[in-house]
Amino acid sequence: MGKKSRNKKEVKLTRQAGPPATLRKRACSRSDAGGERFWLWLVYLSVGAAFLTPFILSGKFYFPFVGPKGLFLMGCCQAAFFAWLVLAISCKKYRPRWEKVLVVFGVFILALALSAIFGADPSRSFWSKFERMTGLVMWLHLLGFFWALIFTFQQKEIWRKFFIFSVAIGAIISLMALLEQAGVKAFDFSQRGGSTLGNTSFLGSYLLFNVFWAAYLFFVSTKWRERIIFLSTIVLAILAIYFSHSRAGVLASFGGLALTGLLYLAFKISSKKARLLGKLVLIMASAVVLAAVILLYIPHNPVYDKFVSMATKSRPVNWQIAWQGFLEKPIFGWGSENYYLVFPKYFNPCLYTPACGSEVWFDRTHNIILDTLVANGLVGFLAYLGLLITTVWSLARARKKDFWLFAVFTSLIVGYFMQNLTVFDMPVSLLMFVFVLGFAGFVNLKEKETVISPSAKNNKKAWPFVITAIAFLVCFVWFVIQPSKADYYTLKAISAQDIDSRIALAQKTLDASPAGKYQIRDFFGERFLLDIQQNYDKIREQAGSKQAVKRLLDFTTQMLQKTITESPSDYSAALRLAQAYNMYTVFDYSKLDLAVQYSEQLLQLSPNNQQSYWVLSQTRLYQGKTDEALALAKQAITLEPQWFQSWEIAIQIAQQAGKNEEVQQMAGDALALVLPDIDKNPDYLNYYQAAVSFYQTLGLNEKAKEIAQRAVDHNPVEWAEEFKDILTK
């Protein structure tokens, strides 16, 4: 062998062996070792605390299940990120390096930022609301969390310990969910189930990750006792998902585990024929799943019909609205969290009826593809797909060294994506997803560790640490403490006994933070107007009450006008504002012009929504324009004749106008529609109520009693009180 050949061979062997361990693991100088350990452990503690997020909830907050979790998670992300930043400043070992998942994750965050900037409302996209906590600010925190993970978790054993920790927490949550389903009151956290997650879908999303992490630990463990424990946690989690009725979670869990088995058959089994068969089955299964996903969006086929029967009839209608929104802004989308503005614009009036699910407000499409397209456009959707593909590609690189890492985590990503075709992410599921991204990034970095020069000097200056500490305090106060105050004071304001205290606390809430400001204003508007309406007779009788109510109405209208100024497309705010001025007109007739202005604006924002016509018809009544009011009410009927509240409103207006013939005609026409619908939808209370009302309008009280009795016979437990008055007359 020649000299050149020997040199080439030595270089090749050196590359295969990687850099010397002393260089790969070089950290701070010995004098800094204690400080390094402190900050490293602070990262570990922060990440560990983040995994406790599922336990965080408080009835003292506006949304007890989501807001506290999101704020707690952001605090953990900040602690982990800034602790890592200190390490990165002081030790070369922890500084950023090129890594594919990190780059693509950064591109995805950039796409979210661009969609926010070019979207309908950047503030809404950035801050989100306490009900969701998934705006750009959360994603920026998760990006910082991701950086802390991949540049400090530098040994596989560390990842394994955190997987075990999360699986243990998941086992506790699973047990609590099962006890909840068994009827143990101490574990009854929410009417919607889901244990401390507050929703069965969110529980399923969270436990899905723990199922696959436990599966990975099961396959790589060499001790039979550990394997029994991990297998037990898998069974426990799947039982919790199943008995909590999280259908998407069940399908994703079993589908993902089946994919793991197919990957084993296709790539790991020793027999060549079996591997060939496995690959063929894998290809066919992938084709079937892909076809099913496509058919999910095409009406009137077995997949579509089965989905509608399992989910709700409103989902496909909602998807059609989302598609229209995407077509209007296809490049960067409307911005994250702005579907709340898209939905009213393309509202389908059939949503009020059982035929379309009877759900009339959506802020999500409940589908990851459409959610991303409408919120972030094609740019965001391609970035998201790129992130998933890059993650799977990174995991695939480890197939020969650690097959189970590749098979289990690839199956998890696929199962997670398939599950999100019918549900959406919340802070806890995003935490789990980003941890998987971090693990994939670690796998990439492990494949190509870089040499740290022995002569590299570590930073010992004090000023970078001071700046880092100040940055952490500012971020913690602005993004965690102040939003926590706003969330906390929201319920305080609602529970205040007198009007002036209520106004003061509401203002204190809104001054605390811009986080969730639109939803809080809307919530205040709804509750304040409802309280005035319910106490209207008392207000008229008590001296001085009118002035107090005017102060509350002034505060409410000014608050809602801020929303309209900042977010002109917010239909909900415009609706509350029009209702507020309609109510204000009763106390101060000079407000009528404003009532007209905002009531007419509703038709521009949501021309197919019956509520727009109802509110404007009320305004026309205050103007004394009875004929116009009745015409508007009839237009609402035309939008969707099967929604009988529109008929009732039109009948009431006709009665006020003294048009008895029209009253009789409309009541008869409405009855002809509602009676067959009761037979089609016997579980729908509103149809019985409408039929009773129409019979009473026609003076057929005995018929009204018959319908009322029929309703009570159908559901005596829940409906007896609804029809008590008419049945006892």
What ranges in 311-367 are assigned the alpha helix state H?
A: 314-328, 339-345
Mean local confidence (pLDDT), 393-421 = 94
Q: What pLDDT was estimated at residue 206?
A: 97
Q: What pLDDT was estimated at residue 458?
A: 56
Q: What pLDDT was estimated at residue 449?
A: 55
Mean local confidence (pLDDT), 476-504 = 93
Torsion of CA 622, 626, 632, 638, to 10 degrees: 140
Among 9-23, 491-505, 541-555, which stretch is predicted with the lowest mean pLDDT? 9-23
Among 30-34, 95-99, 407-411, 622-626, which stretch is predicted with the lowest mean pLDDT? 30-34
pLDDT(717) > 60: yes
Q: What pLDDT was estimated at residue 310?
A: 76
- Model-level pTM? 0.91
- CB of 518 closer than 8 Å to CB of 562: no
DSSP 479: I
pLDDT(562) > 50: yes
Full set of structural domains in the chain with CATH: 516-623 (1.25.40.10), 624-729 (1.25.40.10)
What is the rounded distance in angstroms from the CA atom of residue 412 to the CA atom of residue 689? 48
- CB of 413 closer than 8 Å to CB of 389: no
* pLDDT tens digit sequence for 269-286: 888 899 999 999 999 999
Q: What pLDDT was estimated at residue 17?
A: 42
For residue 303, what are the CA distances in angstroms to 11, 251, 312, 356, 518? Answer: 57, 14, 14, 18, 38
Q: What pLDDT was estimated at residue 300?
A: 84
* pLDDT tens digit sequence for 307-342: 877 778 899 999 999 999 999 999 999 999 999 999
717: left (phi over 0), alpha (psi -120 to 50) or beta: alpha
pLDDT(729) > 50: yes
What is the rounded distance in angstroms from the CA atom of residue 213 to the CA atom of residue 408? 8
Q: What pLDDT was estimated at residue 144?
A: 97
Tokens for 432? 């789990």
Q: Which amino acid is at 189?
A: F
* pLDDT tens digit sequence for 17-47: 444 333 344 446 554 556 789 999 999 999 9
Q: What pLDDT was estimated at residue 724?
A: 87
Could you tell me which residue, 304 or 216, shows the higher pLDDT? 216
Q: What pLDDT was estimated at residue 618?
A: 95
Mean pLDDT for all residues in the chain: 90
pLDDT(399) > 70: yes
Could you tell me which residue, 669 or 19, shows the higher pLDDT? 669
* pLDDT tens digit sequence for 434-446: 999 999 999 988 7
Contacts of 287 (CB under 8 A, 6+ apart): none
Q: What pLDDT was estimated at residue 306?
A: 82
Q: What pLDDT was estimated at residue 459?
A: 55
Mean local confidence (pLDDT), 589-606 = 95
Question: Among all chains, which residue has been given the structure tokens 């956290």?
Answer: 189
Assign 304 a pLDDT band (cuts: 50, 70, 90).
confident
Could you tell me which residue, 237 or 718, shows the higher pLDDT? 237
Q: What pLDDT was estimated at residue 41?
A: 95
What is the rounded distance in angstroms from the CA atom of residue 170 to the CA atom of residue 178? 12
DSSP string, 690-704: HHHHHHHHTT-HHHH
pLDDT(466) > 90: no
What is the rounded distance in angstroms from the CA atom of residue 262 to the CA atom of residue 407? 9
Torsion of CA 634, 639, 645, 648, to 10 degrees: 20
Q: What pLDDT was estimated at residue 472?
A: 96
* pLDDT tens digit sequence for 188-239: 888 888 999 999 999 999 999 999 999 999 999 999 999 999 999 999 999 9
Q: What pLDDT was estimated at residue 190?
A: 83
Mean local confidence (pLDDT), 356-366 = 91
Q: What pLDDT was estimated at residue 133?
A: 95
Cα angle 57-58-62, degrees, rounded to a multiple of 5: 110
pLDDT(289) > 80: yes
Q: What pLDDT was estimated at residue 19?
A: 40
Assign 447 a pLDDT band (cuts: 50, 70, 90).
low
Mean local confidence (pLDDT), 362-367 = 93
Assign 14 a pLDDT band (cuts: 50, 70, 90).
very low
Q: Residue 558: which of 532, 576, 540, 542 has the closest Cα?
A: 576
* pLDDT tens digit sequence for 637-655: 999 999 999 999 999 999 9
Most confidently modeled of 446-450, 462-466, 467-471? 467-471
Q: What pLDDT was estimated at residue 622?
A: 94
